[in-house]
Amino acid sequence: MKTYQLPQDSRLSQPDFVFGVATSSYQIEGAAKEGGRTPSIWDTFCALPGAVHNGENGDIACDHYHLWKQDIEMIHGLGVDAYRLSIAWPRIFPHEGELNPQGLNFYQNIIDECHAKGMKVYVTLYHWDLPQYLQDRGGWLNRETAYKFAEYAEVVSAHFGDQIDVYTTLNEPFVASFLGYRWGIHAPGIKGEREGLLAAHHMLLGHGLAMPLLRRNAPKSQHGIVFNASPSYPLSEKDQAAADYSEAEGYHWFMDPVLKGEYPALVLERQASNLPMILDGDLAIIHAPVDYVGINYYTRHVCCFDENGDIKNVEQSQAEHTFIGWEVYPQGLTDLLVRIHQRYTNMPPMLITENGSAGDDCVIDGEVNDEQRTRYFQSHLLAVDEAIRQGVNVTGYFAWSLMDNFEWAYGYEQRFGIVHVDYQTQKRTLKQSAIAYRNMLLERAEENK
């Protein structure tokens, strides 16, 4: 029987350690023009020639909008404690100031179904699908969007309150701001150093403005934010400064304001000519207390300086890589968690809110033998266990992703799911990685009876 093995006396084996699966709205829902939804920046971006692999989009995706009930049943069958999803902002406010009851009802049904099956609900308010009408006024380059996000967060939390067990304001502000507004790889496709840093500041401001509203409306829930992070290593001893800066810009720039109330000096110095306008009081707002910090981890960086003094990542050609080209490096997850734990005093509990790998998966005789992904999860679960043994407070782990889905600029080429999706028929097939996950959780449940 395929299952993941956890060390004896592992914190991960305890009944209060939360195991879950994760998705996001634009990646799985489809029904782009149904239920009152209006376009997001991703609908617009996908229509740009060459923006997304094969010109693909999320119009149908996994059709979760129509298949949500069977999907929740499938999630429950995995034996997880929780389901992490995101709410599509354009379903809640399809037009400026216009609340959409159909959107609220869609998520209400999912929340109710999860709770009826004994699963907790973790909701991300912003997983990158900004309403296009806000982008038309500048999107995250416009300070007003931070306040619009706070209004949206207030309405959602006022409606659902403590029915949502755990709220996340933003998912991966690094990706949303830098890939979207600095490098143009993601929606809305804007390129500019100054723009990327400005968008990042406004996203963090939106997070800070939302936090007291969430606490007031859902006092029994937990509230926090999710960062993607990769530890950086020097290619040689002389490249330590390159690795240090890579981490400073890659995740300290986003975590420091939330957890320390300041931006990292390394980035302030190197980007002095591109810094955003930071008004008095902004950092105090961003520094609002959080109940947890979510960490999304996939791989590491190995860095050096090039001939121009710029920092570049060096591919480790001898290492194992996933289908997307990312190095498999579980030790990086242990190192990352320990580094974060050491950097921030009074660090709240951490959750691994995403961890997973992409594969070129196909169904053969009714099965998907995703052997690499199964090894990936096993090694990374052990990496989390090791970080906990070194004193890091990690309280949960969410596999990314529940099922194959629209993988942003990669379209449907990359499959991150532990469940295979046939996009023609929408048939779901549990991969070997999902079966091992389920078996581990069933064993844990038996042991904890």
Q: What is the mean pLDDT of the chain?
A: 98
Q: Model confidence at 225, in pLDDT bands (50, 70, 90)?
A: very high
pLDDT value of residue 420? 98
Question: What does the alpha-carbon distance between residue 420 and residue 428 come to, in Å, rounded to a whole number?
Answer: 6
Question: What does the alpha-carbon distance between residue 431 and residue 418 come to, in Å, rounded to a whole number?
Answer: 6
Over the stretch 382-437, which tens digit does the pLDDT of each residue have? 999 999 999 999 999 999 999 999 999 999 999 999 999 999 999 999 999 999 99
Q: Counting beta carbons within 10 angstroms of the beta carbon of residue 309, is it exposed (0 to 12), middle (13 to 18) or buried (19 or more)?
A: exposed
pLDDT value of residue 371? 97
Active-site hit among 113, 247, 354, 407: 354
Question: What's the token pair of residue 47?
Answer: 């229509």
Q: Which long-range contacts (CB under 8 A, 24 or more apart) does 259-267 make?
A: 259/287, 259/290, 259/293, 259/344, 259/347, 260/287, 260/344, 261/286, 261/287
Question: What does the alpha-carbon distance between residue 209 and residue 188 come to, in Å, rounded to a whole number?
Answer: 23
pLDDT value of residue 41? 99
Q: Which helix (H) or strand (E) holds 231?
A: none
Strands 232-234 and 394-400: unpaired
pLDDT value of residue 83? 99
Residue ranges of domains in the chain: 11-447
Q: Work out the average pLDDT over 45-49.
A: 98
Question: What does the alpha-carbon distance between residue 26 and residue 114 come to, in Å, rounded to a whole number?
Answer: 20
Q: Model confidence at 375, in pLDDT bands (50, 70, 90)?
A: very high
Question: What does the alpha-carbon distance between residue 186 and residue 192 come to, in Å, rounded to a whole number?
Answer: 13
Over the stretch 58-99, which tens digit does the pLDDT of each residue have? 999 999 999 999 999 999 999 999 999 999 999 999 999 999
Question: What does the alpha-carbon distance between residue 128 and residue 83 come to, in Å, rounded to a whole number?
Answer: 19
| Helix-strand-coil split of the chain, %, nearest 5 | 45, 20, 35
Asked if residue 1 has pLDDT above 90, the reply is no
Cα distance from N-terminal residue to C-terminal residue, the chain: 21
Helix axes 144-160, 101-116, angle to 10 degrees: 50
Question: What does the alpha-carbon distance between residue 262 and residue 315 come to, in Å, rounded to a whole number?
Answer: 32
Helix axes 193-217, 253-260, angle to 10 degrees: 40
Could you give phi then psi for residue 137, rounded to 5 degrees? -105, 15
- Buried residues in 73-89 as b, exposed as e (16+ CB within 10 A): ebbbebbbbbbbbbbbb
Could you give phi then psi for residue 373, rounded to 5 degrees? -65, -40
Over the stretch 173-200, which tens digit does the pLDDT of each residue have? 999 999 999 999 999 999 999 999 999 9
pLDDT value of residue 395? 98
Residue 1: strand, helix, or coil: coil
Please state which CATH class domain 11-447 belongs to.
Answer: alpha beta
Active-site hit among 56, 113, 172, 247: 172
Active site residue 154: no
pLDDT value of residue 309? 87
Neighbours of 11 (CB within 10 A): 18
Question: What does the alpha-carbon distance between residue 226 and residue 255 come to, in Å, rounded to a whole number?
Answer: 9
Query: Please, are residues 157 and 167 in contact by the beta-carbon 8 Å criterion?
Result: yes
Active site residue 354: yes
